[in-house]
Structure 1
Amino acid sequence: MALQDARDQVDTGFTRSEAKGLAFENAFGGATSAFRRRYTKDLTGYDLAITGVPFDQAVTHRPGARFGPRAIREASTLQPFDPPYYWDFSPLDEFAVADYGDCGFDYAKVTEFPCALRNHIRSILEQGAGCLTMGGDHYVSFPILQAHAEKYGPLSLIQFDAHSDTWPDDDMSRIDHGTMFYKAVKTGVIDPTTSVQVGIRTVNPDTLGVTTIDARAVHEAAPGEVARRIKDVVGDRNCYVTFDIDCLDPAFAPGTGTPVWGGLSSGQAAAILRDLAGINMVGGDVVEVSPPYDTTGATAIAGAHVLMELMCLWGWTRRT
């Protein structure tokens, strides 16, 4: 490799001139942008923006998900050398993808956070790009959903999770990562009759009309059958996919705030996500990656792979 070529492969998060294409920078060095995409706030000419929300002040148990976006970015540097396996296209080659950086907010003014996040997501959608988000605790999905619903109308939700997050909470001022989908249903942001929760294994008697495919049902069915059941509920409606990393069993993702045994394997989750190809996905997120509780980095690696699968799902119906 010529000296200039070598220089061009350094810190491509800042220096890459082409918005499309795989990246071959050393995985162990350089600026750790998501999948080695360029950092930019100007989304002119970009199809999709990846952004981080380092917020974990809504947790009911262990904090640490504020470090999730940084860890997922670092783990993602292992992936942009090759197209994703099982998909017959390369989203990094076919779509212009940017790393939009993180949502900024004042950590000491928690009540202002939801508005700050809604405005952050609006700033992406108003530029005409799609948006994928790295959390952060799961509360972040609510302001993100609100911003998407402003553009697309009420959404169908596909939620991978150990917890339903629909526990009753009519106080809109409360910021809680276990009640935000209750609020999303009650405020008309999501349509419960066309929404699905996958991997649930904690008790909440009132599903608010959301279809539940609990963890045992996933274990007893083939991944393709689970995906078919999800598609039967969601149909061709605009949908948002949210993946709480605690959907995975702690054996595969120990680095999360509220781990629950009996969850999905990474292989099950990968197969289900791939078999969802064709859904009309308008946005998505991966949340609750908490690096302090996983010294191996496996949870962040899982989060980065989920993020790539979300990119593939988003891109599948938009291919030229």
Structure 2
Amino acid sequence: MYVYTHGTPFRRAIEEGLLDPNRIVQLCIRGALYNGRESDWGVRQGIRVIDIDEFRSMGIENVILEARRVVGSGRAYVTLDVDALAPVYAPGTGTPEIGGLKTIEVQAMIRGLRGLNLIGGDVVEVSPPFDPSGNTVLVAATLMFEILCVLADNISKQKRR
């Protein structure tokens, strides 16, 4: 029996044969784990996991190149969990974790997806009640706009073919 929670959509999609784990990249994973098996499962399935330490040592340009290599020319979907950002940029999430990304780093990574066969995207884990300033909503909406710009560029190029 599977347990479905907000933290298991990719695992369940892989288990149900809906996603090819060899074409999945998880970026900037950080924070405490319940046990070592949590991160091992995805790696064993073929997911390319780039934790925050590897991200920092690789640099944005190399991370983008690696993500593009893994995704390849097939259809791709980008999902951005807002808690990938440092809480100073997006405190309005259920699982804030220090040591995250800057907004400019996320913008660069999204823009680095231009030219991929992107078919959709989303920004998740935004919880406005946790951020009375409204900054998290602004950040999430702006990053979704960035994703939509990359998506629109791809659709435009497909229609010209």
Name the aligned partner's letter for residue 78 of structure 2. Answer: V
Shift in Å, 1:315: 1.4
Match of 1:238 in 2: 75
Match of 1:176 in 2: 5
Partner Cα distance (1:231, 1:282) in 2 = 15
Partner Cα distance (2:87, 2:65) in 1 = 26
Match of 1:309 in 2: 146
Partner SS, residue 189 of structure 1: coil
Name the aligned partner's letter for residue 188 of structure 1. Answer: G
Q: Equivalences for 1:150-299 in 2 at 5 Å? A: 170-171=1-2, 174-202=3-31, 203=33, 204=38, 205-207=40-42, 208-299=45-136
Contact 1:256 1:290 in 2 (8 A): yes
Partner Cα distance (2:82, 2:126) in 1 = 6
Partner Cα distance (2:130, 2:19) in 1 = 32
For each residue in 1:6-29, what CA deviation from the matched residue of structure 2 results, as whole angstroms up to 9, or x when unmatched?
A: xxxxxxxxxxxxxxxxxxxxxxxx
Cα RMSD, aligned residues only: 1.3
Name the aligned partner's letter for residue 185 of structure 1. Answer: I
Partner Cα distance (2:61, 2:114) in 1 = 11
TM-score using structure 1 length: 0.45
Contact 1:193 1:210 in 2 (8 A): yes
Partner Cα distance (1:196, 1:183) in 2 = 16
Partner Cα distance (2:56, 2:88) in 1 = 15
Give the number of equivalent residue pairs. 149
Contact 2:4 2:12 in 1 (8 A): no
Contact 1:219 1:264 in 2 (8 A): no
Identity among equivalent pairs (%): 38
More helix by share: 2
Partner SS, residue 241 of structure 1: strand
Structure 1 alignment gaps of length 5 or more: 1-169
TM-score using structure 2 length: 0.87
Larger-Rg structure:
1
